[in-house]
Structure 1
Amino acid sequence: MASPAETRKFEQFAYEITDVDGVPHMALIAEKLKTMKHRQLRQDDILLCTFPKSGTHWAWEILNMIVAGKAEYTKHWQNSAWLEYRTEEELEALTSPRVLHTHLLPRQLPESVWKLGCKIVFVQRNPKDCAVSCFSQVISQVWKDEEGMETVCFTGSWDDYLSCYQDGYIPYGLIFDYIRDWWKTAEQYNICQVHYKDMKQDCVNEIRRMAEYLDRPLPEKTYVEIAEACSFSNLKHANEKLKDQTYHFQWEPGTSGYFRKGKTGDWKNFFTVAQSEKFEKIYEARLNEPFPY
């Protein structure tokens, strides 16, 4: 049961947030999460694991192109393969090998992931940039309630949101716990760890690493073509103009939607010095290492 202080933090979100196994989640997926551990995956499934706004669309499209062996966009948005949001029937209809994506913690995933030895790609990003990108999304994305009333997903200020974010009062909980748990899991299992900043600096090399991890090496020319097709501007155009919009969320007029800037370091335009210092102290306490960015 959430305390009064916790409840007040959640009140600025347009949707209901509830606790599932000790982690805050949108109430609309709570029932799916309760049975998630018992889902049966396929041995050739590929899981893309990210905290929200860590480059999920980008990495998911790259992985699909690696599987296809060519720089060709998927028909649907990545939301079509979102493990915790799509029904089992919707996911079952996807052709193997499936590239599924999720923001769940390792302990929340289906047990079959570990039993089958599914390939896992874990992408992380500077938590400060994640916070800014998440905030920019929730103040632009439109939520429609059961009565059909529309509002943005989060009605508070940047200061309000950062307070929720660094205390874990957002869907999927605390990013520091997410990073820590995936680091620990990577010590036990063969997981491909990728960093957003490395993809920005040398995308071709990171695509090559992912392809080799998936045992799907491609010609060097194809890596270059995939990197170009998945550049920020090209992928933004494809997602907004070329793809089937079935799984597209609604956004406030004039906002940038999922694809806002696609840069590193934008946190400097939002964090005050005091906020930055406090954030780094929380990171260091939770992860037991100096803030590396």
Structure 2
Amino acid sequence: MPERRYDTEVSEEDIIKVSDSHGNVMEFLEHGGQYISAKGVIMGKFPNPKTNFPRLKEMNIRSDDFFLCAYPKAGTHWTWEIMSMILQQTAEYHPLKKETHMLEFNTPEVLESVTSPRVFNTHLRPNNMPQQFFDKHCKTVFVQRNPKDVAVSFYYHCMQTIKFCGTFIQFMDFFMEKHGPVYHSAWPLYTLEWEKYFKEHPDHPVHYIMYEDLQQDPVSEIKRLAAFMDKPCDDQLANQIAEKCSFQNLKTASDTVKGGDRSMSFYRKGKVGDWKNHFTVALNEEFDQYLQQHKTDTVYKYEI
């Protein structure tokens, strides 16, 4: 893959600052309703969305490309590794991090250099996706997770990536859009826009995965996913992939196989229902009202 070098020049007037009365500040760069960390761009971690997103719209897509679409902390790392193993027909970890195949964190030149078969992953909303993704009806895997667990995991993620220093309750005020736009985008808006697209385009091949189902019965979900990808996957391979992609094994592989930064791990607990250890009764009631005001079509079989 080409060396990833990005322009770190950012105009001060382009930086969107979202703050609360406790001194917590988030700084973003925006394009198409997507909010990316300004500091991440300035540090050269990924390209400026204001210039890169329009170019992503025009990038070349191959008909056999797979796309993994998920809100942050819904299970992107986990599912991407499983999909990569299914494509390679072996329970061996992909040598690269999933960020190397992530749309918003790369330029078209870098992404187009990836050899097929390719599994791209993204947190982008539909309006920011490459046009050829729609034109070529690329197979899409859409992952969803209990939004309360998403919020908890996203809080710890933001503590690491954008150095959010506030409490969980203070973070939830940001998550519920009380102070302005949300990092990446608001969960209900992201979910609703993808639901709307798939409903209005029934000819677009999409496979839905619930994070909780994947954790409860990984072998069955892996075989179901393989069938969608039109790849063979017997019980032996499915069990091998499930073992290699268990939470602890993936966390270890992130450090050993992929050379991860031990100071910044994207793997925390991976538990279902951890939100109960973070939400107060009052916050839970408030967030329920927020979800009720921003209803999605997703039906949860798990307590929210």
Structures share a fold, TM > 0.5?
yes
For 1:48 and 1:289, the matched residues in 2 are separated by: 19
Partner of 2:105, secondary structure, is coil
Q: 1:180 is matched by which residue type in structure 2?
A: L
Contact 1:62/1:207 (8 A) holds in 2: yes
For 2:169 and 2:276, the matched residues in 1 are separated by: 14
Partner of 2:9: none
Aligned pair partner of 1:159 in 166, 169, 180: 169
1:29-64 per-position Cα deviation (integer Å, ceiling 9, x unaligned): 322123322222111111110100111110000000
For 1:288 and 1:103, the matched residues in 2 are separated by: 17
Aligned pair partner of 1:243 in 253, 258, 266: 258
Partner of 2:127: 107
Contact 1:43/1:118 (8 A) holds in 2: yes
Partner of 1:216: 231
Matches within 5 A, 1:179-198: 179-187=191-199, 188=201, 189-198=204-213
Gaps of 5+ in 2: 1-12, 42-47
Matches within 5 A, 1:135-284: 135-141=155-161, 153-167=163-177, 169-187=181-199, 188=201, 189-245=204-260, 248=261, 250-251=263-264, 257-284=265-292
1:84-104 per-position Cα deviation (integer Å, ceiling 9, x unaligned): 111222212211011110000
Q: CA deviation at 1:283?
A: 1.2
Q: 2:30 is matched by which residue type in structure 1?
A: D
1:232-254 per-position Cα deviation (integer Å, ceiling 9, x unaligned): 11111111112244xx5853xxx
Structure 1 segments of 4 or more deviating over 6 A? none
Partner of 1:77: 97
Q: CA deviation at 1:185?
A: 2.0
Partner of 1:145: none
Partner of 1:254: none
Partner of 2:88: 68
**Percent identity over paired residues:** 35
Contact 2:60/2:132 (8 A) holds in 1: yes
User: Does 1:97 find its partner at 2:117?
Assistant: yes
Matches within 5 A, 1:28-43: 28=41, 29-30=48-49, 31-43=51-63
Higher relative contact order (CA 8 A, sep 6+): 1
Partner of 1:149: none
- TM-score (norm. length: structure 2): 0.83
Aligned pair partner of 1:20 in 28, 31, 50: 31
Gaps of 5+ in 1: 142-151, 252-256
Partner of 1:169, secondary structure, is coil
Contact 2:81/2:94 (8 A) holds in 1: yes
Partner of 2:110, secondary structure, is helix
For 2:81 and 2:298, the matched residues in 1 are separated by: 32
**1:39–1:274 Cα change, 3 Å:** same
- TM-score (norm. length: structure 1): 0.86
Q: CA deviation at 1:270?
A: 0.9
- Give me the CA root mean square deviation: 2.3
Q: 2:249 is matched by which residue type in structure 1?
A: N
Aligned length: 272
